[in-house]
């Protein structure tokens, strides 16, 4: 039982980290950024490339090297996120929502098959592997890498939450999500704030990618697809557009999956997760933390 909960929470913290970027982008420009999962994949591949180019030096430094590589990878994926927004989404900002959605799918395929063309289609083993002690907590096996990764994820999430609540950029983000035109009239530099939102969201996905590579040990160019959809599901469960909702949604989805696969078998995991998505969309489309917003005329 406690093992199921722990497994669920661990996977859930990955979902939460990726769901944050999804949710932020949706909150601010009402766009479902389907390329977001592929930024997670991109982060893993950048981490792989950096570690491979440093060779034995980086692997001998272990966790320390991993954190440096993760930061580097965050900067690069963040920048790629900004570039995607600038090239693919901004020109379509006045266009119907469907057009932007399809562009996002296109951006997703471009990233996937771009990486497949550059790095090859084969799965790669990640150069750094996190290994460590095992603790027994209430009967559940908890490993040191799991704890470290969850702490990193937690710190990143707390930093983001503080950033949005305490800084002027954060205030501007919240203002734009409420009323973009109004914010513009009040002198907020809307484009700059949206760029920053993409940077932060993409950087978090990149961090999750490096963490997944180091923990699971395998990366491939399609690894972002399913987890992107899972992050979307997590964002919907928590209340899309709501930052704390995304974190909660990630953890809840992880737990739902863990209990679901215990109940009906591991091969039903994805079917179960997406059935929950459909259930939420029909019964409570605003998610756990979302509020019912009446359309203003």
Partner 1 sequence: MKTPRRTTALLGIAAAVLLATTACSGGLLGGDSEPDGEAEAGPIKIGMVIPISGSSAPTGAYMENGAQLAVNEINDAGGILDGRMLELLVEDEACDAQQGVASANKLVSSEVVVSVGGYCSGATLPQLPIFGGANVPMIIPAANSQDLVREGLDNVFLINGTGLQQSTAALDFITKSGYTMVALVDDNTSYSTDITTETESQITEDGTAEVVLNTSVNAGESDYSAVVRDITGSGAEIVYWTGYYQEGGLIVDQLRQAGYTGDIMVADGSADATLAEIAGDAAEGVFATMTPTPDTLEGAEEWIANYEAEFDAAPGPYSTQSYDAVRLAAEAIETAGSTDGDEIIAALEGISGFDMFSGPLEFTDEHTLSNGGFVILKMEGGKFILEDSLS
Of 154, 156, 147, 155, which Cα lies nearest the Cα of 215?
A: 147
SS (H, E, C) 194-206: HHHHHHHHHHHHH
Q: How far is the CB of 140 from partner 1 (least distance, A)?
A: 10
Q: How far is the CB of 197 from partner 1 (least distance, A)?
A: 27
Residue 172 or 219: which CB sits closer to partner 1?
219
Residue 135 or 159: which CB sits closer to partner 1?
135
State the residues that interact with partner 1 by CB under 8 A.
3-4, 7, 10-11, 116, 120-125, 129, 131, 134, 141, 143, 212, 216-218, 220, 222-223, 226-227, 257-258, 261-262, 265-267, 269-270
Residue 192 or 226: which CB sits closer to partner 1?
226
Residue 85 or 257: which CB sits closer to partner 1?
257
Q: In the numeric block, which tokens belong to residue 27?
A: 């909150």
Tell me how far apart the alpha carbons of residues 4 and 10 are, in angstroms, rounded to a whole number.
10
Q: In the numeric block, which tokens belong to residue 1?
A: 């039982």
Q: How far is the CB of 4 from partner 1 (least distance, A)?
A: 7
Q: How far is the CB of 218 from partner 1 (least distance, A)?
A: 5
- Tell me phi and psi for residue 50, to 5 degrees: -65, -50
Q: In degrees, to the nearest 5, what angle opens at C-alpha 29 toward C-alphas 25 and 31? A: 65
Residue 3 or 110: which CB sits closer to partner 1?
3
Cite the beta strand spans of 119-267 per DSSP E: 124-125, 134-137, 140-143, 218-219
Residue 43 or 239: which CB sits closer to partner 1?
43
Q: In the numeric block, which tokens belong to residue 294?
A: 């009446």
Q: How far is the CB of 7 from partner 1 (least distance, A)?
A: 4
Residue 1 or 158: which CB sits closer to partner 1?
1
User: Do the strands 124-125 and 134-137 form a parallel or antiparallel pair, or are they unpaired?
Assistant: unpaired
Of 291, 233, 174, 193, which Cα lies nearest the Cα of 36?
A: 233
Q: How far is the CB of 124 from partner 1 (least distance, A)?
A: 8
Q: How far is the CB of 232 from partner 1 (least distance, A)?
A: 16
Tell how far CA 175 is from the center of its chain.
23
DSSP-derived secondary structure letter, 288 = T
């Amino acid at each position: 039982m406690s093992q199921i909960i722990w497994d669920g929470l661990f996977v859930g913290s990955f979902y939460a980290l990726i769901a944050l970027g999804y949710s932020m982008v949706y909150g601010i420009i009402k766009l479902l950024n389907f390329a977001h999962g592929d930024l997670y994949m991109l982060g893993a591949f950048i981490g792989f490339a950096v570690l491979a180019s440093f060779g034995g030096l980086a692997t001998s430094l272990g966790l320390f090297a991993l954190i440096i590589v993760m930061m580097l990878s965050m900067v690069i994926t963040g920048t790629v996120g900004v570039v995607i927004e600038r090239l693919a989404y901004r020109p379509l900002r006045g266009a119907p929502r469907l057009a932007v959605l399809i562009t996002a799918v296109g951006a997703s395929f471009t990233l996937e098959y771009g990486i497949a063309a550059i790095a090859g289609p084969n799965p790669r083993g990640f150069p750094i592997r996190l290994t460590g002690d095992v603790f027994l907590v209430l009967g559940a096996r908890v490993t040191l890498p799991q704890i470290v990764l969850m702490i990193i994820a937690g710190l990143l999430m707390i930093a983001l939450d503080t950033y949005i609540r305490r800084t002027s950029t954060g205030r501007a983000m919240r203002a734009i999500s409420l009323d973009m035109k109004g914010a513009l009239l009040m002198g907020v530099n809307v484009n700059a704030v949206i760029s920053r939102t993409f940077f932060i969201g993409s950087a978090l996905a990149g961090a999750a990618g490096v963490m997944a590579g180091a923990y699971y040990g395998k990366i491939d160019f399609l690894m972002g697809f399913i987890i992107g959809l899972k992050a979307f599901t997590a964002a919907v469960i928590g209340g899309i557009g709501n930052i704390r909702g995304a974190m909660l949604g990630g953890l809840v989805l992880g737990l739902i999956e863990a209990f679901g696969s215990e109940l009906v078998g591991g091969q039903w995991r994805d079917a179960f997760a997406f059935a929950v998505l459909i259930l939420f969309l029909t019964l409570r489309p605003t998610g756990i933390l979302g509020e019912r917003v009446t359309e203003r005329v």
